[in-house]
């Protein structure tokens, strides 16, 4: 919601209220409310938000995270900031319509990806299966495709006023660039691919899915399967860092047997979990007390 607040602040402060500004403000607000509402729904469904639990125990690490968040929001919001503060308006043109279309495509993909992912994780029968339904069948990371595309669209629309106002506005290209860099090379796709490879790397169906499904740009698997590897790497973001398994090499019978055994063992432990929890109350309480003690010491040392 920080993006929405910043957009409204600059819009109301400038007080020009041009048509382009109003449309972009509405789009950013729609995106922010949708994403914020989804994250709130997910927290309520889970009963907690444990994304930052580990960092909260370390003051300076948590402070650094929030400073990075502030910089990220400011940079990604640059197209909106320059547009909202533009005094000279320009007639709506091709850049606006292309930009708004890209925003719409990105918004739809991000929304469908989020909701289908939530539905998958909420279905207990699919707990040990990899996500490959809906838009995830044509892209391994459709949510990241949506995020990059919609901010590119916002930038293109904002470009329409830069020449007539301040050419420095073109530095706002940092918005879609930073979004793409973070999602493609830092905290997005690389971590997601590594987790999936580690969990499902020995599953034949997953290996086939990964081999024939575009990492970012949505397209039918039948089309992607025919594209040469060098084109995938240079134009479709199929970077070597995304592959931690040899997709050409099929898992051995021993690996498949081990994976099946681990799955059966996990199901067995889940069924007998209630009884084990009752028997192990005392040790668990001691362990919990010990963890609280050390966590308290960490907090004190950080402060």
Domain extents in the chain: 1-187, 200-268
Q: What is the pLDDT of residue 248?
A: 59
Q: Closest Cα to residue 140, out of 34, 212, 235, 228?
A: 212
Q: What is the pLDDT of residue 123?
A: 87
Tokens of 218: 């949505």
Q: What is the pLDDT of residue 279?
A: 45
Tokens of 116: 């289908």
The H-or-E segment that residue 183 falls in is: none
Q: What is the rounded distance in angstroms from the CA atom of residue 107 to the CA atom of residue 126?
A: 26
Q: What is the pLDDT of residue 259?
A: 59
Q: What is the pLDDT of residue 263?
A: 62
Q: What is the rounded distance in angstroms from the CA atom of residue 275 to the CA atom of residue 273?
A: 6
Q: What is the rounded distance in angstroms from the CA atom of residue 55 to the CA atom of residue 286?
A: 24
CA quadruple 285, 289, 294, 298: dihedral positive or negative? Answer: positive
Query: Is residue 244 within 8 Å of 201, Cβ to Cβ?
Result: yes
Q: For the chain, how many residues are written?
A: 303
pLDDT tens column, 51-110: 666 666 677 777 887 898 899 999 999 999 999 999 999 999 999 999 999 999 999 999
Query: Is residue 86 within 8 Å of 16, Cβ to Cβ?
Result: yes
Long-range Cβ contacts of 69-77 (<8 Å, 24+ apart): 69/2, 72/178, 72/182, 73/2, 73/3, 73/6, 74/6, 75/174, 75/175, 75/178, 76/3, 76/151, 76/175, 76/178, 76/179, 77/3, 77/6, 77/7, 77/175
Q: What is the rounded distance in angstroms from the CA atom of residue 186 to the CA atom of residue 190?
A: 7
Q: What is the pLDDT of residue 83?
A: 96
Residue 47's region, left for phi above 0, alpha for psi from -120 to 50, else beta, is left
Long-range Cβ contacts of 293-298 (<8 Å, 24+ apart): 295/57, 298/57, 298/58
Q: What is the pLDDT along the chain (303 residues), one digit of tens a residue?
A: 889 999 999 999 999 999 999 999 999 999 999 999 998 888 888 776 666 666 666 777 778 878 988 999 999 999 999 999 999 999 999 999 999 999 999 999 999 999 999 999 888 888 789 999 999 999 999 999 999 999 999 999 999 999 999 899 999 999 999 999 999 999 899 999 999 999 998 899 999 999 999 999 999 999 999 999 999 999 999 999 998 776 655 555 555 556 566 666 666 666 665 444 444 444 444 444 444 443 444 443 343
Q: What is the pLDDT of residue 181?
A: 96
How far is the CA of 55 from the CAs of 52, 137, 195, 245, 298, in angstroms? 5, 34, 20, 30, 11
Tokens of 269: 């432990």
Q: What is the DSSP letter of 135?
A: G
């Amino acid at each position: 919601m920080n993006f929405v607040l910043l957009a409204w602040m600059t819009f109301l402060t400038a007080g020009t209220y041009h048509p382009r500004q109003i449309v972009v403000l509405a789009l950013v607000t729609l995106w922010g409310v949708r994403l914020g509402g989804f994250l709130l729904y997910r927290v309520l469904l889970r009963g907690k938000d444990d994304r930052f639990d580990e960092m909260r125990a370390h003051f300076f690490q948590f402070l650094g995270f929030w400073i990075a968040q502030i910089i990220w929001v400011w940079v990604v919001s640059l197209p909106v900031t320059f547009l909202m503060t533009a005094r000279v308006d320009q007639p709506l043109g091709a850049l606006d319509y292309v930009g708004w279309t890209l925003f719409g495509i990105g918004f739809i993909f991000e929304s469908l990806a989020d909701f289908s992912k939530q539905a998958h994780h909420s279905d207990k029968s699919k707990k040990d299966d990899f996500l490959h339904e809906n838009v995830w069948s044509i892209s391994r990371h459709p949510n990241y495709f949506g995020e990059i595309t919609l901010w590119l669209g916002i930038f293109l629309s904002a470009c329409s006023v830069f020449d007539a106002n301040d050419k420095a506005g073109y530095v706002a290209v940092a918005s879609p660039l930073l979004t793409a860099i973070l999602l493609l090379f830092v905290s997005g796709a690389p971590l997601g691919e590594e987790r999936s490879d580690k969990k499902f790397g020995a599953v034949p169906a997953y290996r086939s899915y990964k081999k024939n499904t575009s990492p970012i740009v949505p397209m039918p698997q039948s089309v992607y399967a025919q594209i040469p590897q060098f084109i995938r790497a240079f134009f479709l973001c199929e970077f070597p860092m995304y592959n931690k398994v040899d997709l050409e090499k099929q898992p051995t019978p021993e690996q498949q047997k081990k994976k099946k055994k681990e799955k059966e063992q996990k199901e067995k432990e889940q069924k007998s979990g209630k009884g084990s929890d009752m028997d192990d109350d005392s040790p668990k309480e001691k362990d919990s007390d010990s963890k609280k003690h050390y966590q308290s010491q960490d907090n004190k040392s950080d402060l």
